[in-house]
Chain A
Amino acid sequence: MESEYKKRLFYGLVFLGLILLPQFVGNYWSHILGDVGLYVMLGIGLNVVVGLAGLLDLGYVAFFGVGAYSYALLASPHFHIHIPFLVLVPLCILIAMILGALLGLPVLRMRGDYLAIVTLGFGEIIRIFLNNLDPVTNGPKGLLRIDPFRIFGFTIDEPVEWYYTILLGILLSTFFYKRIMDSKIGRAWMAMREDQTAAELMGIDLLRYKLLAFSIGASFGGLGGAIFAARQGSIFPENFSLIVSINVLCILILGGMGSIRGVILGAFVLVGLPELLREFEQFRMLLFGLLLIIVTIFKPTGFFRPEKGLKIVND
């Protein structure tokens, strides 16, 4: 009981700190913190697919991209459609979920590294379409003047306001993630991850739970994408290249699969640190690749202990 109380106090203080943080760091850093927050959201979503269900998805950026483009197409002068965000954001999430299920269908029977390559290809296909379907997506010129979130006459447009919006998004995502992890679905995913054959013999419908993993994982990407589009105000196909998928995966690996704390730490390190090291910009990815190898070899479970006996991704 005592330690439970301390734990709550600790998280309460951390949360209070996160709320007060932008007041001290100003607009520029609030924007960067917003980036970190978006990656946390994507990290939580990918964690559902990779950490819980054990399906290595290298095309996660597809859902982020589709969320962003859905928002941008339906709330910008491009088609002269301006759907209010309270309706549109759930719609973006839904579209991402449907796409997740559609991707899940053909790849259900694949395992491990085959799945990784196919999802990677899928992410690239989406980017190629965004880049070339000019009449719809405006091609490489991107979509401009996207509506920000407006609520009761109040417009969210300052970096600090976006920071709080994203923080709220993370809280919702975390809550949802925890609930689903402890639900029957979450248990089934973990059973599936530990041993597919055994899980199937225990009566878990692999097909159904894999589809669920893909589409629920995708929902976080869709939400992140919608927020990203509204915050940036303009989006381009290059925003959704393979490196985003790789970054999110690395956040999971660095932070420790299956742990929200790990995801947050990983996102800070991965997105925040390079900002501090701006002058080393060109060596950033070089070191990053090296770090990925070293961490995989020496710390295969990441820097945070995975929760509840989680193993690193298994096939």
Chain B
Amino acid sequence: MDLSLLAEQIVNGLSIGGVYALIALGYTLVYGILTMINFAHGEIFMVGSFMGYWTLAFLEQKGLLWDWPQLSVIVAMSLSVITCGILGSALERFAYRPLRTAPRLAPLISAIGASIFLQNLIMVMVKGRMRVYPDIIPLTGIEVGGIFVSHFQILIIGVSLLLMVALWIFIRRTKVGIAMRAVAEDKMAASLMGIDVNRIIQVTFLVGSSLAAVAGVMVGMYYSQINHMMGFIPGIKAFTAAVVGGIGNIPGAMLGGFLLGILESLSVNILPAQYKDVVAFSILVAVLVFRPRGILGEVVGERV
């Protein structure tokens, strides 16, 4: 088989894997702290993508986009991060918090409701039509050992890695981060130590949703077409990535994301491209059956 083709597929896999990893971090953070799957997380990613589009479209209309393309993208990302951060914490406050002591599946059902709500909210707003991002990514790139890697791919991988390292430092070194770990470990003990558990949980949703927003804008720029259904499949895949790496584990989510991206990208050598989604689901089932704690996950008694 052609080696340079293989290398190219791996680079493609790493770029989309970076996106999966960013979304997966949101699942993992929330799961780590509440042992709950935030089913609406994929929809937050979708809203992030639309927010980025609306900002860029507005700037284009005002004639600012083409004069300051880099700055415009930064503005779009920031607005998207802010919107999604607020949305994520609002979701926690109104849809999940009242159910914290309810049977375990109640929050999941509420999350399905939130997911349907957000999908249809955007659908009503865009009248069900897809949107196309302005064509601002340069098609330039570099040649490494005979394969072409676009600057934008490098940007996606770079931004994902950077955010993951930042998150890692945030969790390990800052006061809020340490409080998050304490709450994940034992809510009661944490609150006795003077930690405001509700606030920390809200911060967790805020951080996870912000990461999804960045992923949303990058996907919008990368694939250019976005629609209100776009959150579902990446959401499931990012969840798969989180499970593969070991849910609740931050380096695991990154590893899982990149791994899933590469596997999926390589799968087209064996299977027709339409079955790409089947590959991800099969990996999910296989991991849950044979190694439910994932690659890096620790053994936790019967928590699930």
Residues 109-121 of B, flagged 1 when their CB comes within 8 A of A and 0 if not, give 1101111111111
**Is the Cβ of B274 less than 8 Å from the Cβ of A128?**
yes
A292 at interface by CB-CB < 8 Å:
yes
B97 to nearest A CB, angstroms?
A: 10
**B288 in complex: contacting residue of A118, A128, A291, CB < 8 Å:** A118
A314 at interface by CB-CB < 8 Å:
yes
**Is the Cβ of A313 less than 8 Å from the Cβ of B105?**
yes
**A314 in complex: contacting residue of B99, B105, B109, CB < 8 Å:** B105
Segment of A13-21, A40-48, A119-127, A169-177 engaged in the interface with chain B = A119-127
Residues 97-117 of A, flagged 1 when their CB comes within 8 A of B and 0 if not, give 000000000110111111011
A121–B235 CA distance with the chains assembled, in angstroms: 12
Q: Which residues of B contact A118 (CB under 8 A)?
A: 284-285, 288
Residue of chain B at shortest CB distance from A139: B274
B106 at interface by CB-CB < 8 Å:
yes
The size bracket of the interface on B is 35 or more
A249 at interface by CB-CB < 8 Å:
yes
**B277 in complex: contacting residue of A112, A122, A128, CB < 8 Å:** A128
B270 at interface by CB-CB < 8 Å:
no
Q: Which residues of A contact B120 (CB under 8 A)?
A: 282-283, 285-286, 288-289
B275 at interface by CB-CB < 8 Å:
yes
Q: Which residues of A contact B104 (CB under 8 A)?
A: 112-113, 314-315
Q: Which residues of B contact A246 (CB under 8 A)?
A: 112, 116
**B109 in complex: contacting residue of A117, A120, A249, CB < 8 Å:** A249
**Is the Cβ of A116 less than 8 Å from the Cβ of B277?**
no
A132 to nearest B CB, angstroms?
A: 5
The size bracket of the interface on A is 35 or more
A155 at interface by CB-CB < 8 Å:
no
**Interface SS of chain A:** helix
B162 to nearest A CB, angstroms?
A: 29
Most buried by A among B98, B120, B232: B120
**Is the Cβ of A289 less than 8 Å from the Cβ of B113?**
yes
B37 at interface by CB-CB < 8 Å:
yes
A136 to nearest B CB, angstroms?
A: 14
Q: Which residues of A contact B292 (CB under 8 A)?
A: 109-110, 114
B144 at interface by CB-CB < 8 Å:
no
**Is the Cβ of A114 less than 8 Å from the Cβ of B304?**
yes
Q: Which residues of A contact B82 (CB under 8 A)?
A: none
A285–B36 CA distance with the chains assembled, in angstroms: 24
Residue of chain B at shortest CB distance from A293: B113
B145 at interface by CB-CB < 8 Å:
no
B242 to nearest A CB, angstroms?
A: 11
Q: List 9 A-B contacts (CB under 8 A).
A: A113-B105, A114-B292, A117-B37, A117-B284, A118-B285, A289-B113, A296-B110, A297-B98, A300-B103
